[in-house]
Amino acid sequence: MRPQVYLPLRKKYVLNFRDFSIPLGHETKIMGIVNVTPDSFSQDGCLTHRIDFTHKAITQAKKLIRQGAHIIDIGGESSRPGARKISAKEEIRRVIPAVKYLAQKTKVPISVDTYKTQVAKIALDAGASIINNIKGISLEKTLLKMIRDYRAAIVLMHMRGVPKTMQKDIFYNDIIKEILDSLRKSIENCLEIGIKSDKIIIDPGIGFGKTFEQNLILLNRLDAFNTLNCPILIGTSRKSFIGSVLNKDVHKRLLGTAATLCASIIKGAHIVRVHDVKDMHDVTLMTDAIINEKMTDLK
């Protein structure tokens, strides 16, 4: 008789930040992406010619919430490989009106995808409750102190360099160990500044300074990141490594994205950051039911 093998249970956490308390571990939480950019790799940016981009961003966010998003993540600067940096003033112009409206008119946490202290400050004043930061270990202490003082949550993502240069430094002796060490240092920096552990989320940075083979290794060994004792966020949606495996362009990567989410959730991911919330909601519900060996309540 073959021995029984059970899927590992995700670690359970409770995120407590600003006015929110979110249990993690039983139900996968979905972070819906709203790009207020003209140059997003996914070609879904709300910043287009002759269109009220704030209205478009708000409309998109409301749609994602109806489809099952638990968190909305708004970004005003593209982080695709080779993307150019924009000024804080321009980023504020793009994202803050939508942040302010959504924070007042919806009941889900609003995350802002930024690494700029000035943008984060205005976003938090406007009602944002999560700062989703791609720069991880190189965060300024001023920004960390601000997040602490606002009792906001922070996503710490691993990336080498900046989007414009990140694909030029992709050699690792041991990719899992090196990313673990980097994220551990980021967590320590937060704790030393006074950010509580129940406000910290980690993200290994799929697609940020990694080859497509390295992205596959990260997903296959994602459970290694449980040792950091923080909730895990994964962002694979429509990314180029899926296109490399399937030989499909950005608009035909839905099923490939679904496969990466299933694998990530089984390996311990708590939050998935996606463009296609409606379809991925079904994927997360089904995967949760398998992991939990019972039905997950529809929400």
> Distance (Å, rounded) from C-alpha 298 to C-alpha 53?
32
Q: Active-site residue 107, yes or no?
A: no
Active-site annotation holder among 239, 248, 253, 294: 239
> Distance (Å, rounded) from C-alpha 141 to C-alpha 32?
28
Active-site annotation holder among 94, 100, 210, 273: 273
Secondary structure (3-state) at 35: strand
Q: Active-site residue 10, yes or no?
A: no
The DSSP line for 135-180 is: TGGG--HHHHHHHHHHT-EEEEE--SS-TTTGGG----SSHHHHHH
Structure tokens at 50: 């002759």
- Note the Cα 220 to chain centre separation in Å: 18
> Distance (Å, rounded) from C-alpha 92 to C-alpha 77?
10
Angle at the Cα of 139 from the Cα atoms of 136 and 141, rounded to 5 degrees: 145
Q: Are 99 and 112 in contact (CB under 8 A)?
A: yes
Q: Are 83 and 39 in contact (CB under 8 A)?
A: yes
> Distance (Å, rounded) from C-alpha 93 to C-alpha 148?
25
Q: Are 136 and 157 in contact (CB under 8 A)?
A: yes
Q: Catalytic positions, please?
A: 239, 273
